[in-house]
Structures are given as C-alpha cells and as structure tokens.
Amino acid sequence: MNVLEQFGIVPIDFAALETVLGKYKFPGNKISQMEKNGELIRLKKGLFIVSPDLHRLAISRELIANHIYGPSYVSFESALSFHQLIPERVYAMRSMTLKRSRSFFTPLGNFDYTSVPKEYYQIGIRQEIVNDRYAYLIASPEKAVCDMIVATPGLRLQSVKAMQNYLEEDLRIDFSSVSAINIQIIRQCIEAGRKKSELTQLYNLLQR
C-alpha cells in the first residue's frame, strides 16, 4: 500500500507529510517528487490532497474548502446546490470566513471566501458528516439564502414581492425540497445587523 493512502481524501499539510516520510533523508524532496508524479495535488503552499488515482475515493470539494482557509463554512450557491435549492451545478466553491476575503485557484477548482463579522458568521452552520469518515461545515438552507442577500453588492429589496422575484427569478430557488424552513435563523441574521431591511422581507415572505 502506498504510504499516502492512509490520508484518504482529507487534506494534509507539509508537517504531516514530513512525519510519514521520516525515513527519507530529505522528505521535502520526496514530497516534491510525489507532486510531480501526480501522487499529491497541491491545494496551496504547504497543503496537499492525495490523488484519487491512489485511494479511488470521490474527493469532497466541501471538505477541501474548509481546510484551505479557515475558519470557514461552505455557503452561497455552493450550499444552495448541495441542499438542492437551485438546479444549476456550481463550479466555484464559495464560503464565508472570519478572516479577510480571499480566493484560491487550484487544480480542483476555485475556492472563494467572503469575510463577515463573528456575530453574523456563527449563525446557521451545520456539520455534515459523510459515511462516518469525515465532516465539514456548511450553511443551512436559510443561512445560505441570507448569505447571498447580505454579500451581494447593491442589492435593494424593499418589499416581499421584490424578495420573491429575486428568489424565484434571479436565484431560481425552489423551497419545495426543504422539509421545514427554520425562519428563526433568518431572525438571528436580522438581529446581527446586516441588511436588516432585505432580510426582514425574506423573513416575512417565508412566514407565509
């Protein structure tokens, strides 16, 4: 078995790789060689993921997103697609973070991060556990919609009708896939103080 297979699909940093490659006199050179051979995929400086050609497992871009830059949680269209609220397949993985906004361009796609204050960030985050093997943080359906509204520049939605048109026509959101909408998450987002007017229209719409 290749020594890298033990890591599966979980991103690994340079220090962890050096530890398992301790028998090599120059583990850094071995890591570079593994990257050139396609055994390792570089996500950013000092962070890698094992090639699926070795472990034969499906890579989770949500898990990768949490590891590339954190603390962060998957949101925006990425979360809306995960929750089957929008029909489109999403290519860039978008997240919210407590750090400054950044973007990373990797062989596995683009990963974008938008900065928000702590009091807003901590609302409506779920831990998604996959097959008891790994877990990542992702926005609830309600929080993902709030994030879209809060982080979209110049968005002005001053009535319930305008909000409904935005959700149905611009985002193409279908709430029928959500078994129960937790409007208290939206209320908490309103209380956090970002785009109160727009989020109040969303709250009023989903209360119906």
Same domain, 156 and 182: yes
**Mean pLDDT, the chain, as a whole number?**
92
Same domain, 9 and 81: no
> Torsion-angle region of residue 83: left (phi > 0), alpha (psi -120 to 50) or beta?
alpha
Same domain, 74 and 50: no
Q: Report yes or no on whether pTM surpasses 0.85.
A: yes
| Helix locations, the chain, DSSP H | 14-20, 27-36, 52-55, 61-68, 76-82, 118-121, 141-151, 160-165, 183-191, 196-207
Q: Which domain holds residue 19?
A: 3-55
Per-residue pLDDT at 207? 85
pLDDT bin (cut points 50, 70, 90) of residue 193 is confident
Q: What is the mean pLDDT of residues 11-23?
A: 89
Using a pLDDT cut of 70, give the percent of the chain over it. Answer: 99
Beta pairing partners, 47: 13, 44
Beta pairing partners, 35: none
What are 122's two structure tokens? Answer: 């901590």
Tens of pLDDT, residue by residue over 89-101, are 778 999 999 999 9
As for how many domains the chain has, the answer is 2
Beta pairing partners, 164: none
Is the confidence at residue 200, as pLDDT, over 80?
A: yes
